[in-house]
Amino acid sequence: MLTFLATFVFAGLESTFAMWSRRQFGWGPEQNGYLFAFVGLLSAVIQGGLIGPLARRFGEARLIVQGATALAVGVLLIPFSHGLPLLLVAMVVAGYGFSVVSPSLTGLISLQVGDDEQGGIMGVTRSAATMARFLGPAWAGLLFETLGRDWPYFGGALVMAVVVGLGLHALKALDRPAAGAAKPGSGRGAPRRP
């Protein structure tokens, strides 16, 4: 569900941004291409080099909450961007958020299920992301057409606020010791990784 919602919001951003930037700044394909190339480069740096150290430092569950929060803030800032500086901040924050939340969800799933279930669960997760890439743009386009150019981003921020809430709830459940598990430091068993 979290994978679906995060992908749903980011796909909606990607699909409506060119229409939004044309109305907001008079941009065409060239300016949008430069901006998305920049966001893509940022994403490659995060997923290619930073995600491992971040996961070791904070744990996947905390990165999910952090990434969802960043994506919510970044998407929310887009409608308030009346110049390039704030828009760059918004896109960097949103791009960072999605680049962190997506691999962290995959990593956490792999840590929470047995080896014999991972293939099936990863398949379901991939299917959810594919469905979100189809439904997100349709939803964002409908909001853009009916409520106005800023509403895909207001709606996306609201959806990501729900993801943050669900992530915090899941984080509490992961931090709770399993029933019958030994207390840390007692020498028996090992606490689950958050």
The DSSP annotation for 28-46 comes to -HHHHHHHHHHHHHHHHHI
> Whole-angstrom Cα distance, residue 124 to residue 101?
17
- Look up the pTM and report it: 0.85
List Cβ neighbours of 107 (8 Å cut-off, separation of 6 or more): 55, 60
Report which of 8, 9, 28 is spatially closest to residue 18, judged by C-alpha positions.
28
Mean pLDDT by 10 residues, the chain (194 residues): 93 96 95 95 93 91 94 97 96 95 87 81 90 96 97 97 90 65 40 46
Give alpha helix (H) positions in the chain: 2-25, 29-45, 51-58, 60-77, 84-112, 118-146, 151-175
pLDDT of residue 185: 40
> Would 100 be classed as within a structural domain?
yes
Residue 26 lies in a domain: no
Give the type of residue at 107: G
Exposed, middle or buried, 61 (CB in 10 Å: 0-12/13-18/19+)? Answer: buried
10 lies in some domain: no
Classify residue 82: in a domain, yes or no: yes
Question: Is 6 among the domain residues?
Answer: no
Domain count, the chain: 1
Is 158 inside a domain boundary? yes
Q: Find the domain containing 134 and state its range.
A: 38-175
Q: What is the reported pLDDT for 112?
A: 78
> Residue 15 falls within a domain, yes or no?
no
Radius of gyration over every alpha carbon of the chain, rounded to an integer in angstroms: 18
Q: Is residue 1 part of a domain?
A: no
pLDDT of residue 74: 97
Q: What pLDDT sits at residue 177?
A: 58
Specify the DSSP class assigned to residue 185: T
